[in-house]
Amino acid sequence: MLQVVNVHKKYGSLEVLKGIDLLINAGEVVSIVGASGAGKSTLLHILGTLDSTDTGEVLFDGKNISRMNATDLARFRNKHIGFIFQFHNLLPEFTALENASLPGYLAGRPEREVREQAANLLGMLNLAHRMHHKPSELSGGEQQRTAVARALINSPRIIFADEPSGNLDSHNAQELHEIFFRLRSEFNQTFVIVTHNEQLATMADRTLVMKDGLIVQEAVK
């Protein structure tokens, strides 16, 4: 589904990615681990079309997304890609339901359909009773589950998560991790997850270890 060919990236004179090759199949949960500064977030942003490569290609179902223009890319991202970050990035003035719905509205989908789907997703994530509350009124785990609903709203082909449980206590972290694997078994949802959480990394089908801008090791379960 997602193919990365010889991707290089520099910030100024700093070579952050030094030739990354990678293949992600539908329904896989792949974790990426490595020391701080290894290039994990940079790679994830490039895979998620939030950042561009210097050289190399990112192919999505064979389509070269490294060459798409900004407008097409934004549309593509909204439709096919979900993101979950360490900090939930929910909009403070909107409720959980509205936050989860936003990418659906941006996609131009009918309002009612989006709201219904958002409510269903929030219900599935045990947030039915909290969906009319704003982020400041939600616990850390609830905020992050709202971010999961937002990531799922347009039924993306792939979800990229950057240290999704980095800000959660171990109980909420475990609950979030279980949600990822439930989504995979129920919907064949594909995930690429950057994590410092060893438990999550070892739950994944494959773990890629990054060091100094390269994937230096791959552990398959």
Ligand X SMILES: Nc1ncnc2c1ncn2[C@@H]1O[C@H](COP(=O)(O)OP(=O)(O)OP(=O)(O)O)[C@@H](O)[C@H]1O
Helices (H), the chain: 40-47, 70-80, 96-106, 111-124, 140-152, 170-187, 198-203
Burial tier of 2 (Cβ tally within 10 Å: 0-12, 13-18, 19+): buried
Piece in contact with Mg ion (CB under 5 A), picked from 23-31, 34-42, 85-93, 175-183: 34-42
The answer to whether residue 189 forms part of the interface with Mg ion (CB under 5 A) is no
Question: According to CB under 6 A, which one of 40, 130, 145, 177 is a site residue for ligand X?
Answer: 40
The answer to whether residue 197 forms part of the interface with Mg ion (CB under 5 A) is no
Question: According to CB under 6 A, which one of 2, 4, 7, 16 is a site residue for ligand X?
Answer: 16
In the complex with ligand X, the residue whose CB is nearer, 11 or 87, is 11
Nearest-CA neighbor of 164 among 90, 67, 68, 86?
Answer: 86
The answer to whether residue 41 forms part of the interface with Mg ion (CB under 5 A) is yes
The answer to whether residue 207 forms part of the interface with Mg ion (CB under 5 A) is no
CA–CA dist 174, 20 (Å, integer): 30
Please work out the total of residues on this chain that contact Mg ion, with binding judged by CB under 5 A: 1
Q: Residue-wise over 32-44: b if at least 16 C-beta within 10 A, else e?
A: bbbeeebbbbbbb
The answer to whether residue 41 forms part of the interface with ligand X (CB under 6 A) is yes
In the complex with Mg ion, the residue whose CB is nearer, 157 or 196, is 196
Q: Are 163 and 86 in contact (CB under 8 A)?
A: yes
Question: According to CB under 6 A, which one of 42, 49, 53, 165 is a site residue for ligand X?
Answer: 42
Question: According to CB under 6 A, which one of 22, 28, 30, 39 is a site residue for ligand X?
Answer: 39
Structure tokens at 183: 């989504």
Binding site for ligand X (CB under 6 A): 11, 14, 16, 34, 36-42
Binding site for Mg ion (CB under 5 A): 41
